[in-house]
Structure 1
Amino acid sequence: MTTQRTLLLPTSVPVVVVGAGYAGLSAALELADAGTACLVVESADRVGGRAFTEQRDTVIDHGGQWVGPTQHHLLALAERFGCPTFHTHETGWHLERWSDGTLARYTGAAPDEAAGIAEYWQVARRLDELAATIDVEDPTSSPHLEEWDSVTVRSWFDRTVISPDARRRLDLAVQGVWSTEARDISVFHLLFYIASAGSFEQLMETDGCAQERRFHRGAQSPALAVAEQLGDAVRTRVTVLAVEQDDNGVEVHTDAGTVRAQRVIVATPPPATARIRFGPPLPVDRARWIQRSTMGDVAKVHVVYEAPFWRAEGLSGVATLYGEGSVGVVFDNSPDDASIGVLVAFIYGDRLRSWSALDREARRQHVLETLTRLYGDRAGAPRDYVEKNWPEDAYARGGYAANPAPGAWAEHGARGWRRPVGRIHWAGSETASRWYGYIDGAISSGKRAAREVLDEEVPS
């Protein structure tokens, strides 16, 4: 979406929405559908937030890209605006490179006889059992809140998982879904996240799960369609500096002027929210929650070829890699018609910190050497190579989502997670009960925040 900064901001509007990611756009759409006018302001020069599609030789999704069958809000939005999807390619042999360098071929979710795999699945079932005890609408009501939020996932794995190989598999699972290391999140947050998705398998797998489908025109396409419908109500390249509220309303101060409103929906990631000055200051629990919510560390690297040559060799393009290399997971990200070949490599956590310290050519060589070991010499000669290192993004400062630090749920979750502060309401994937951390969760959070506003009978 091109910037609309050249248009003057209105001096007043019933509702201001801060942030034009999926949360902010869905909030604005919900308000518009109910006949309530709003203004959406976004610091970046585009809409979509952590969903960012670029048209190069083919469609490249730098951010969120998948949709699963239980992600009803995203599917409904895509259907409303005519954004078709297609099945993620996973036909053929998957590859697993183990920590000793051995390479195995397999089909299904994992190699049947691989090291540590039996206990890995036992732990997955146990996590599902524990997650089922958490009420995702009221997570801090869990009787085990303090116990589980006081223990890191790393400590829990070390204490309860016997096989070092199973722990190695679980570590990569945590990196792949939470884009962080197991030492950085609590058992409670891990369990809440699993509960919000429905199961451990929903987070990890493709068919029938979170990675089942992709968008023909990229995952940003529904967001672009919503912004197009909202028209001049969406203004990019407008940065909110302060939000001040009193008994009569709210003033939203931006670098393009001040707007008076009755209500504000803040739909930005925690790092962006932290840069806004609030008057009066936010309650301690809300402020601490923002401060202690840390974005994940992940980079997506797309490598483009003339064709998906690995398919002719019976390979799916899916790979998991354990050990010292930079890349953790690889997927086939080619378009549905296979007119061009694309592999996408994910780099997480500690691996990202080491890899991102290298210069660009060294980073490129690390990735291409990994792909060459997996798919042969042709993988070392791409026609295009593009990186998106999300911690370096000026607005998100990480991805996929923010993870509350151990102890944050127990200490500040009840009052700090998403409870409105006066006339200020909170949206964003990190405030979702279902599909926390995903586009679907962002959409549902925007709808919830809009309903909170509408329940206050804001004038249209």
Structure 2
Amino acid sequence: MSYSESVHADVVAKVEVAIIGAGYAGLSAALSLVDAGIETIVLEGSDRVGGRTLSEVRPTGVVVDHGGQWVGPTQTRLLALANRFGVETFPTYWAGDHLEIWADSRVNRYRGAGPDEGDGLHEYEEHITVLDALASTIDLQNPPASPGADLLDDESVASYLRREVPNEGARRRFALAVEGVWACEPGHVSMLHFLFYIAAAGSFDELMETDGCAQDSRFVGGAQAPAIAAAAYLGDRVRLGHRADRVVVHDDGVLIETTGGVVRADRLIVTLPPQAAGALRFDPPLPPAKARFVDRSVMGDVAKVHVTYPEPFWRAEGLSGQATIYDERETGVVFDNSPNDASSGVLVAFVYGRRVDPWATLDADARRASILATLTELFGARAQEPIDYVEKIWSIDPWIRGAYAANPTPGAWTAYGEKGWRRPTGRIHWAGSETSSVWNGYIDGAIASGQRAAQEILDRRA
């Protein structure tokens, strides 16, 4: 049956390009195409835009970011999008002493990017230089083509650290770094992907640090604000509540079957996280390399907990609100997430990787009690009496199915990555933060991926 013969009365739109997913990748692709005069529609299954960003105004009036929230100075695409729609930023608060709880429950205070002393600290800092040098060899456009890619992809970060970093304290620091940035355990990510991710950000410190790095600034109104503004600009081209279930590709076009009807397009951009994309039905089926790469790209596990107080009381005590925790409790990192005017105090605690499931299976009161116990140990008795508490467990989100990003399992890059990573499959183009060569896994990477996919279509029309 030809494409035209399969179009029925339930076709709700006929456009040149359809986009599945109204996160930053889908919205940026749509903006690029609409700006070029291309008739475009964005199909989003949920009732909101923004994907892995989610900003909520709490009953206290405070805006909290349940998902991605920060922007750094080298994330120029995100900054440009915010500037286009008049969304302002403000610096992350990090003045004062930071805290770390070590494996033996010692609490250390320090200032600046890191402590001067601590278990394994010097070995950790020395090996960051080694990792940056290794990351500089990675081919950002085709990671499997990097020197030694087969060996790097066969080895997990955990096995590498056991061999190359003999100091246990240094290995513990790297393990928390992997949990915090990749939202998984060191044994679940290959060295090739680890180094690629570092290279895509520019350096290891770019990923980890605050001032001038990935956690430098936040958005007035929350990180979802630029996405909401972009969707408003696109208007009725963005269709919420249109969950894509099936994609049928013909010689002369694509049909996307959604809960809101069938959309007909010449080309399609899929921007969903890999595991959500894998739930779509494709007719004909995706090429084996693409299907396998999607299957073996596993979303991280993370939960964010925001705890609000009448004021950021820790600041008066000389504390920044930032803490890193190296023992086995539920949370690994804490930040001051207060509004820019300090009209209230907000601490955000992250639960990562293997810690998520045992914590998430507790009842709500027990989860809350465990978080407040840690905050009380860090910041004193006032931390026990918040005026608001809210949590977001991303692994049970039906649309995203985890966060922050998907990590290919060891061996997946070299087995399937060259053909399965982001190469168009006929009339289908692929975007999403996981497909970006810059700031992979971040909002900026999502925007870059959407712009790349749009350019692929524009180049075909030239």
TM-score range normalised by the length of the shorter chain: over 0.9
Looking at structure 2, the residues matched to 11 and 399 of structure 1 have their Cα atoms a distance apart, in angstroms, of 32
Give the gaps of 5 or more residues in structure 1.
1-7
Looking at structure 2, the residues matched to 92 and 49 of structure 1 have their Cα atoms a distance apart, in angstroms, of 34
Match status 1:397 vs 2:401: yes
Name which of 101, 121, 128 aligns with 1:124. 128
Match status 1:83 vs 2:87: yes
8 A contact 2:20–2:43 mirrored in 1? yes
1:139 counterpart residue number: 143
Name which of 349, 354, 358 aligns with 1:350. 354
Looking at structure 1, the residues matched to 233 and 390 of structure 2 have their Cα atoms a distance apart, in angstroms, of 31
1:237 counterpart residue number: 241
Please tell me the residue identity of whatever aligns with 1:353.
D
2:72 counterpart residue number: 68
8 A contact 1:271–1:395 mirrored in 2? no
Shift of the alpha carbon at 1:9? 6.7
1:3 counterpart residue number: none
Looking at structure 2, the residues matched to 45 and 297 of structure 1 have their Cα atoms a distance apart, in angstroms, of 23
Q: Which string of whole-angstrom CA distances, capped at 9 and with x for unpartnered residues, describes residues 98-120 of structure 1?
A: 11011110011221111100000
Match status 1:109 vs 2:119: no
Looking at structure 1, the residues matched to 176 and 408 of structure 2 have their Cα atoms a distance apart, in angstroms, of 19
Name which of 21, 31, 34 aligns with 1:29. 31
1:49 counterpart residue number: 51
Q: Which string of whole-angstrom CA distances, capped at 9 and with x for unpartnered residues, describes residues 351-380 of structure 1?
A: 112111211100000000000000011001
Looking at structure 1, the residues matched to 86 and 253 of structure 2 have their Cα atoms a distance apart, in angstroms, of 38
Name which of 354, 360, 367 aligns with 1:363. 367
Looking at structure 1, the residues matched to 144 and 192 of structure 2 have their Cα atoms a distance apart, in angstroms, of 10
Looking at structure 1, the residues matched to 268 and 169 of structure 2 have their Cα atoms a distance apart, in angstroms, of 49
Give the gaps of 5 or more residues in structure 2.
1-9
2:310 counterpart residue number: 306
8 A contact 1:152–1:182 mirrored in 2? yes
Name which of 172, 183, 187 aligns with 1:183. 187
Q: Which string of whole-angstrom CA distances, capped at 9 and with x for unpartnered residues, describes residues 307-365 of structure 1?
A: 00000000000000011111100000000000000000001011112111211100000
Secondary structure of the corresponding residue to residue 94 of structure 1: strand
Shift of the alpha carbon at 1:259? 1.3
Looking at structure 2, the residues matched to 240 and 455 of structure 1 have their Cα atoms a distance apart, in angstroms, of 26
Match status 1:281 vs 2:285: yes
Match status 1:261 vs 2:279: no
8 A contact 2:241–2:260 mirrored in 1? no
2:230 counterpart residue number: 226
Shift of the alpha carbon at 1:12? 1.0
Secondary structure of the corresponding residue to residue 13 of structure 1: strand
Shift of the alpha carbon at 1:11? 3.3
Please tell me the residue identity of whatever aligns with 1:195.
A
Please tell me the residue identity of whatever aligns with 1:400.
Y
Looking at structure 2, the residues matched to 213 and 115 of structure 1 have their Cα atoms a distance apart, in angstroms, of 29
Please tell me the residue identity of whatever aligns with 2:324.
T
1:451 counterpart residue number: 455
Segments of 4+ in structure 1 off by > 6 A? none
Please tell me the residue identity of whatever aligns with 2:249.
Q
RMSD: 0.9
- Structure 1 residues 163-202: aligned runs within 5 Å: 163-202=167-206
Name which of 241, 263, 275 aligns with 1:271. 275
Match status 1:337 vs 2:334: no
Instruction: Please report the TM-score for the alignment, with normalisation by the length of structure 1.
Output: 0.97
Name which of 212, 216, 234 aligns with 1:212. 216
Looking at structure 2, the residues matched to 239 and 326 of structure 1 have their Cα atoms a distance apart, in angstroms, of 34
Name which of 430, 440, 446 aligns with 1:442. 446
Distance 1:9 1:74, change over 3 A: farther
Secondary structure of the corresponding residue to residue 219 of structure 1: coil
Looking at structure 1, the residues matched to 272 and 389 of structure 2 have their Cα atoms a distance apart, in angstroms, of 30
8 A contact 1:286–1:415 mirrored in 2? yes
8 A contact 2:241–2:259 mirrored in 1? no
Match status 1:38 vs 2:40: yes
Looking at structure 1, the residues matched to 46 and 253 of structure 2 have their Cα atoms a distance apart, in angstroms, of 26
8 A contact 1:43–1:237 mirrored in 2? yes
Name which of 100, 110, 124 aligns with 1:96. 100
The percent of aligned pairs where both chains have the same amino acid is: 58
Looking at structure 2, the residues matched to 133 and 295 of structure 1 have their Cα atoms a distance apart, in angstroms, of 26
Secondary structure of the corresponding residue to residue 358 of structure 1: coil
* Between 239-248 and 64-73, the greater mean CA deviation after superposition: 239-248
Looking at structure 2, the residues matched to 267 and 390 of structure 1 have their Cα atoms a distance apart, in angstroms, of 18
